[in-house]
A and B are shown apart, each in its own frame.
Chain A
């Protein structure tokens, strides 16, 4: 059995890179060391101790994600949008003759399973409600826009798996999904733009207390974080479903898995 040269090259490359990475190991702080430069550094300590004063949001991760490093999060949302658009651009094509005929035959057989349909009819609203809870409670418990958005997207994927892709597309069409994903990014970037128009920097939520009722600058940060998380959830939900729809149907959006 001849060994392929690419495998030898790959093994050599892996050994070189692996030893390079391991050689730095002696320098690193021990696992779980609370006094390592990263853990006891100024930045981490500032976040942990000052988040309650500066943002009044208990979940430090959400505060850092949506406020201190909110700009990164906005671009992360754009990454998801780009991924959805990219997949659409690469694969989307009008259904060809053969798959239409197949879809007709498949529809005639009505392969929808009664147990699955009934179970999902009961489950999906609960899943979506839980997703909304995760989004709304991102300030107080692990959660936030990305997590809730993925759960929402998963509920639609479940619907598509059980009831068929075409039935789900009747409820959540491709146009709607694209529109909602754009709306999500607009909510996020638009909040930043409004902050700019009110005199602050981009995504400087403090100045929003001028238009949000009954808030002081610090609570304005907390509220604005919720608004941008909702925007993120819109985009993530739509794109997750769109990716599933396009990938499982080969771009034709006629019949799925």
Chain B
């Protein structure tokens, strides 16, 4: 039972995929076959996206603290005291400049401010809580990136492509069905085959 619960996403996708496959093969109406094709492709997309899920993880977008502040960590080694001071000042700034986009110019302003306050060098390997500081809301926010807190971005990227490909295939298939209808007057497969006749493969 545990194994079942742990892997239920795979069972779901297999069931969905098989429904789609059955429709694609056995249905008589051409549009129903295409509906089956869509279900089939959706199941594969579901499978891929479920690969990237991580328990307790958020979407794979770095937020402001992790982007700008942490980047400063990587670029220059600062003391965390100075870090905390400059971060307070930065957050005041960003509050005012919230309306502006975080353009490169704004970022370089921040880093130049930090440059000015650099004193001693520190090791790259700081204590885990070194990057913590209070943001303007008073929450503890870490600017170290913990990969376990972000969903795996790769399946999302792959499935963006797969969805687009699926939509394109569906569009082309629908246009082919319209063409068949214009040519034969029907979209039921047995009807069309009857029209072609028994000596079809002459």
Contacts and interface: CB of A to CB of B under 8 A. Distances in A.
Q: Do A and B come from one complex?
A: yes
A65 to B, nearest CB: 5
Contact of A25 (B7, B17, B107, B157): B7
Interface of B: 3, 6-11, 14-15, 17-18, 21-22, 25-26, 50-55, 57, 59-64, 66-67, 70-71, 74, 102, 104-105, 107, 145, 147-148, 150, 152-157, 160-161, 164-165, 167-169, 171-172, 174-176, 178-179, 182
B164 A60 contact: no
A21 B21 CA distance: 13
A250 B70 CA distance: 55
Contacts of A10: 21-22, 25-26
14 contacts: A7-B26, A18-B15, A22-B11, A30-B6, A34-B55, A40-B147, A53-B71, A56-B71, A56-B104, A61-B157, A64-B153, A76-B161, A83-B172, A140-B61
Interface residues of A, number: 66
Nearest to B174: A247
A48 B153 contact: yes
A106 interface: no
Contact of B172 (A72, A76, A87, A140): A87
B61 A141 contact: yes
A69 interface: yes
A22 B6 CA distance: 14
Given A72-B161, A76-B161, A76-B164, A52 B175 contact: no
Say whether chain A's binding surface is mostly helix, strand, loop, or mixed: helix
B171 A79 contact: no
Nearest to B13: A21
Given A33-B54, A48-B153, A52-B67, A14 B60 contact: no
Given A10-B22, A53-B71, A65-B160, A33 B55 contact: yes
A11 interface: yes
A167 interface: no
A257 interface: no
Interface string A1-45: 000101101110110011001100110101111101011100111
A30 B6 CA distance: 5
Contacts of B3: 26
Given A14-B22, A247-B178, A80 B168 contact: yes
Contacts of A30: 6-7
Given A49-B147, A222-B104, 4 more contacts: A4-B26, A14-B18, A25-B10, A215-B104
B175 A17 contact: no
Nearest to A215: B104
Nearest to B68: A52
